[in-house]
Every structure is written in structure tokens, then in C-alpha cells.
Structure 1
Amino acid sequence: MLRDDVEPALNSAIEKINKLHSDVNRFRTTPKQRTIGFVLHVEPIAVGDGPHQFTRDWALIELYKEKIVWDSFKGNKVYVGENLSPSDYCNTMFPRSEDQASYKYPRDGLLQAYGVVKHEEIRSPQHLDANGDGLATGTTVGRVNGLDSFTRVYTEYGIEQTGVPSLAGPGDSGAIVLERGGAIVGMLTGGGGANEATDITYLTPYWWLEEQMKKVFPDSYLYDVV
């Protein structure tokens, strides 16, 4: 038997799931109905690009505004609730007692992505773990000890890549890495290690990617905070 305070919440969740199932069956049955945008521009891939030697590998997607129900659109959010409970999120992302006074768990486990971590902040992380090292998060958790923590040099091609301790695994290229408050650190472009395990993740800083996008499409932007 369910407690009186549990049953209403469970019934509400079931109703939401049933409505989602009904809406998907009615409005998202065919691939055409599930298409919500198109590739507006694909930038040619380049490694060791410019004075910073960053990896250039991005595409710009334009959404069909009429396909989105803006009244209920949740914006650019990352679901952290699956991996981190409120207490786990607090202990992992805010391990220093002086930080926990302002700690708030993202509503519904959805971390709002907004803002961009600038170059000087990446080199000197503002958020520290219990050992005083940098900290960042997405749906997985890891530390950023300054963007230039590791450098991989491909001598035969004259290429250098900068990386951070591993945050990801195979197939995660293109994922966005956020700091604990939701500011965008960078886009994941690859990984590597001394053996089959990946122990280093390579990121292209988002502040630089945004600059490149604005050069091609000055009016491009991420959708506003909801």
C-alpha cells in the first residue's frame, strides 16, 4: 500500500507519461513529423587551427519554430537527475562548505545551460573541488584543471591538441561540457589514452566556437533561458 503523500505524486507522473505517449502517437509518428530543424551550415574540419591551435569542427542547426510548443519548451537543459540525486549533486559539485550555502539543486534535475566560460576562467577554474582542483559537469562528472592540462602532439602532422581529464567515452564527440552552474565550457572533440581506456578528453572552448559562428552568421544564438 502506498503512503498518502506518495500516491498523488505517482498518479500525476503516470498521467504525464500517458499524455506524452498520446502526443507522440498523434504528432510524432512519421520521420517528417519528428524533424525539428535542418543543418544550416557545416564548417570544414580543421585541427590546430589559428593561434590557439583549437580543433574546428562544428555545424549550425536552425530549428523550425513552428515545430516547438514554446509555452512548454524547457530550453537548453541537461538532465542530471538520472545520475545525481540532490545530495549527490551537492556533495559532488559543491564539496567545499563555503559553496554549499548558495547550493540549489536544478529543478526537476534539469540544469539550465546559459552563459559561456571565458578563456581566462578556463585557464583558472573558478569552481573548486575538495582538493582545490577545477570542476565541471554534464551528464557525467569530471574535473577541469585548466584547459591546457594535457597536450597531445602528432609530430608527423604538426598538430597539437589540448585536453582535460576524461569526462566521456566513445561516441560522445560533439557533446557540450558545462560547469556546475550551467555555463558552457566547450564541445567535446575526442579522447585518448595509453591503452584502450580513455583517460583524456579533448575540448574546443565554446567561447572560441561562438566567435567563429558569429563570423559566419552574426545573428545566430542559443535559445534564451527558459
Structure 2
Amino acid sequence: MQKPRWQQVSFAEEPLILVNARDEPCGFDSKLNVHAGAGKLHRAFSIFLFRDSEHVLLHRRSAEKPLWPGYWTNSCCSHPRRGECNRIATSRRLEQELGVSAELRYLYRFQYQAAFGDLGSEHELCSVYIGRLDDEQELRVNRSEISGWDWFHVDDVDKWLAASPETLTPWFKLEWQQLRGRHAADIRSLFTDAGNSTSRPHAVGE
């Protein structure tokens, strides 16, 4: 039986957006270069999808990933490319990685830096989003990006983080603390606000 061919959606040469700490663009460079060494500060995003207020979609990064291969992380994470706002980039990436669409709510932005041994680093100004994935949407997972996935109860994720933090990506661990703390009510409101009418709009530049 012929092995299925999965669409490649990440490229070493794709141009990412360099920013300063105020999220002001200050140039562009390839994905390869911005992750080399200690990394260059660039714009990124993380998405958490929920099927109800207590179950979140997590995925395991493909073994083909140059940084943190095989680690578990949030539903979807990537970067806007040159010329893209976050609104377009998040929609593109949800389709490319998971084969779904979702209305997203912007929560907050933070800066972090993390090294993966001597192979490279993440140095990102990362915008965090949450969204609701309705049951009728079937996941069509891109196996070139994702090697495993499942829905997890939020309490089980808490236990996982406490027991085996080394299996999770560094950005996920930082973001999950915020989602379980000051943004817990935002997750609940995804399922209580009629039509998601209180969603915060994307910030300028996103």
C-alpha cells in the first residue's frame, strides 16, 4: 500500500516578520535564520481550540520539526509571513495543519526566548488565541507537521504539566499557566456568550 503524501506547509526560506518589543516590524528574514543561534525576535501566534470549556486539543510535533520534534504542544502554532496579518495567518495555518476553520478570540501577547540545545532557538513575540471547534468539523491532520493529537481534559493537562513538563514545548507551558489563571473565564465564555459576541477583535497589526 502506497504511503500517503502529506502537504509540506513549512519551509526554511519562508520570510518571517522581525519585530521589536513593541511589536513594530523592523525587517524580514528567513525562518531558518530567525531560529538560528539565540534567535531573532519575530512575530508568532499560538492557538488553543476547545470542544467545550473543559477539553482542549493538543498535538505532538512531527519528528521532522527542527526544534522540539516529538514534543506535545497547543492546538496550532506558527508565524505570519511577510505581508500577512495574524488574522490571515491563523486562518491559513488552521487549514494547513488541522483542516478546520474557527472564529478566534485574541487574549494577549508575550515575549519569550528558549533554546533547543545547540540546534537553535525560539525568540518570539507571540499572540495567543482561543477558539471553539464545533463537533461537526472533522480534523484532517497534516502528518508532516503533526505526529499525534487528542482532546484532553484541562485537569489532566494540569497533572501532565506537573508530572512530565519535559514532554511539552516551552511556549505551551508559559501559555497554559495564563489560560488556567487569568484567562480561564475567557475560555468558559466561548461557550456561554451567544454568538461569541464579546470576542475581542484582533489588535492593530494582527
Q: TM range, normalised to the smaller chain?
A: under 0.3
Q: Which of 1 and 2 has higher RCO (CA within 8 Å, sep 6+)?
A: 2
Q: Which protein shows a greater Rg?
A: 1
TM-score (norm 2): 0.27
